[in-house]
Amino acid sequence: MAPPLLNLDGIKLTFGGTPLLDGAALSASAGEKIALVGRNGSGKSTLLKIAAGMIEPQDGEVFRQPSATVRYLPQMPDMDGFADVRAYVEAGLGPADDPHRATYLMEHLGLTGEERPNDLSGGEARRAALARVMAPEPDILLLDEPTNHLDLSVIEWLEEELARTSSAVILISHDRRFLERVTRATVWLDRGQTRRLDKGFAHFEEWRDQVLEEEEREQHKLGRQIVREEHWLRYGVTARRKRNMRRLGELQTMRQRFRGHRGAEGTATMVASDAAESGKLVIEAKGIDKSFGDLTVVKGFSTRIQRGDRVGLVGPNGAGKTTLLKMLTGELAPDAGMVRLGVNLEIATLDQKREAVDPQETLAHYLTDGRGENLVVNGEQRHVVSYMKDFLFKPEQARTPVRELSGGERARLLLARVLARPANLLVLDEPTNDLDMETLELLQELVAGFAGTVILVSHDRDFLDRTVTSVIAPDGGGRWIEYAGGYTDMLTQRGGSKLEDRKARSKAEASEAGSKAEQAAPKGPAKKLSFKQKFALDSLPKKIEAVTASISRLENNIADPSFYERDPASFQKTIAALDKERTTLAALEEEWLELEMLREEMEG
């Protein structure tokens, strides 16, 4: 194995209280691609800054090859003092570096170089910072959340670029698919210490679970050993006669180890506050258009979103995802067409810019809107400290100002506030930004199991695959198409092409002559079911089976002659639930029958 370009060993750092880093290690050789993972607040960014030479540890050894060049991508790039993006990017070049590479990177990242720093969006600033750190082709490249605010086409390009580079790369990211495709080794920072797996992130979660299970077994064995030694101390003849000081010393050491063990970090508990059930139809859009000057953002889009659907919006930055989302939720009126919202809608929104938070405001004040120490979640009154614990905040943080939170903690705080509001429609715009893996897993479970309806915008391909039932994507010229399934299903239906390639082809196909020829050609009957119809036809029998089983259980409950006498209120609720399930079954059976008749008609 090649000698390391970078080696950190025994790194210790404490900001008062429990050590943030307590003997952490990190090393990288030429060409290595390493994922640095851990909980929010575990010290990942701090360890990366120590590797970059921006922070000095209190103890431990830091070695960098004297001739090695190091570049660090911060979460919040500082562009003060630069007239334009080109000046900012080229300031990162060394005397021997090729200035043409800076131009190449800016072009592929969608920048001209003439943009003014104060006018940049979050995504544009992140792309400029990426160009600056990658342009010199450094020996060591340290990337802190490089995919935040990037659209899918840029993320896919970045994957290929990092795979080709000869630089040693250490990166922090919440994007699982990105980590799986780029990394070949994983360093896990947990409770101040690091463990290394010489495999990519795709193998991390299974390995992590094995490590934690083994640790729990060892801790249990240590506890039993202490019990045995304490029994010897009290009742052993040798203990009373000779007072074996060696065994007493060993027992004291074991007690200290047992008491000093820091167990695995707690797990967040995410539950959305349920509102009354919405109508079956949540949103209906027919032929909606939206333009800004000569730019057509949405053209002739139609959809029906029903209760229980989980819809994902994807596409490049600037394609109009947020505009389409605002039209679907009634926040923005279309230029043409119609949007109809269902009845009894209670909407909770997490927008892309995140609602403004006073940095001086405390966590407790923010969560309760300044209304004392309690808030109502799911119809139950909860003390704010108890609710904060569900999102991994410590009781002493109740009076902490928001300005002192890390990026991940701030993301959890915003989610806590949104999920406390009663809702049957969740609208989430880039909800995964800054979340750690464990919190992201819980958000996935919440979205996938939410009883209401979810519309979300995300660039996280893995998150989309695990949560949504359909994907809406741009097809060029303001056209949007809805696909059944997740992001990978969408790519399959589009022939496996990337979004930017598909967009370029659709523009070429949409020539004026071709459009006129298409309009003039007579349209015959469809030859086969659409993918969405086939998906519904395949999935409806399982839904019918589940509802039938539910009806059977309810009928069995009602059949109990003592049920009404025991609990009249529950009996009436069961009757109402049974009627509702029977209505649902009839609707599902009717939908299946119509699709089956249509299939038979098309096939012969």
User: DSSP states of 547-589 as a string?
Assistant: HHHHHHHHHHHHH-TTHHHH-HHHHHHHHHHHHHHHHHHHHHH
d(CA 84, CA 73): 19
d(CA 350, CA 414): 8
Q: How high is the pLDDT of residue 568?
A: 76
Residues of the chain above pLDDT 90, percent? 32
d(CA 143, CA 132): 12
What mean pLDDT comes out for the span 308-319? Answer: 87
Class for the domain spanning 281-511: alpha beta
DSSP class of 402: G
Mean pLDDT lowest for which of 128-132, 262-266, 365-369, 542-546?
262-266
Q: Which residue has the higher pLDDT, 30 or 583?
A: 30
Q: Which residue has the higher pLDDT, 364 or 264?
A: 364
Read off the pTM.
Answer: 0.64
* pLDDT tens-digit readout, 447-458: 887 888 999 998
DSSP class of 396: G
Residues of the chain above pLDDT 70, percent? 83
CA distances from 362 to 41, 243, 354, 370 (A): 18, 55, 17, 10
Residue keyed to tokens 């198409």: 481
Give 319: exposed, middle or buried? Use CB within 10 Å, 0-12, 13-18, 19+: buried
The pair of structure tokens assigned to 284 is 């209906």
Contacts of 23 (CB under 8 A, 6+ apart): 10, 11, 12, 60, 192, 193
> Which residues is 483 bridged to in the sheet?
471
What mean pLDDT comes out for the span 223-251? Answer: 58
**Residue 537 reports pLDDT greater than 80:** no
Ramachandran bin of 370, using left for φ above 0, alpha for ψ from -120 to 50, beta for the remaining angles: left
**Residue 525 reports pLDDT greater than 50:** no
Q: How high is the pLDDT of residue 505?
A: 41
Place 290 in a pLDDT band, splitting at 50, 70 and 90: very high
The pair of structure tokens assigned to 289 is 């258009």
What mean pLDDT comes out for the span 235-254? Answer: 55
Which CATH homologous superfamily contains domain 6-204?
Answer: P-loop containing nucleotide triphosphate hydrolases (3.40.50.300)
Sequence ranges of the domains in the chain = 6-204, 207-260, 281-511, 531-603
Q: Give Cα 564 to chain centroid, integer Å.
A: 47
What's the full length of the chain, in residues?
604
Give the pairing of strands 425-429 and 168-172: unpaired
Q: Where are the beta strands (DSSP E) in 477-537?
A: 480-484
Helix (H, G, I), strand (E, B) or coil at 190: strand
What mean pLDDT comes out for the span 420-441? Answer: 80
Mean pLDDT lowest for which of 104-118, 393-407, 507-521?
507-521
The pair of structure tokens assigned to 600 is 């038979």
Q: How high is the pLDDT of residue 3?
A: 81
Place 500 in a pLDDT band, splitting at 50, 70 and 90: very low
The pair of structure tokens assigned to 343 is 């009845």
d(CA 287, CA 295): 17
Which CATH homologous superfamily contains domain 531-603?
Answer: Valyl-tRNA synthetase, C-terminal domain (1.10.287.380)
Report yes or no: 72 and 134 within 8 Å, Cβ to Cβ: no
Instruction: Please count the other Cβ atoms lying within 10 Å of the Cβ belonging to residue 218.
Output: 11
Mean pLDDT lowest for which of 13-17, 331-335, 473-477, 510-514?
510-514
What mean pLDDT comes out for the span 485-492? Answer: 88
Q: Do domains 6-204 and 281-511 have the same CATH topology?
A: yes
Place 69 in a pLDDT band, splitting at 50, 70 and 90: very high
Place 271 in a pLDDT band, splitting at 50, 70 and 90: low
Q: How high is the pLDDT of residue 309?
A: 92
- Please give the mean pLDDT across all residues of the chain: 81
d(CA 557, CA 569): 14
d(CA 103, CA 281): 50
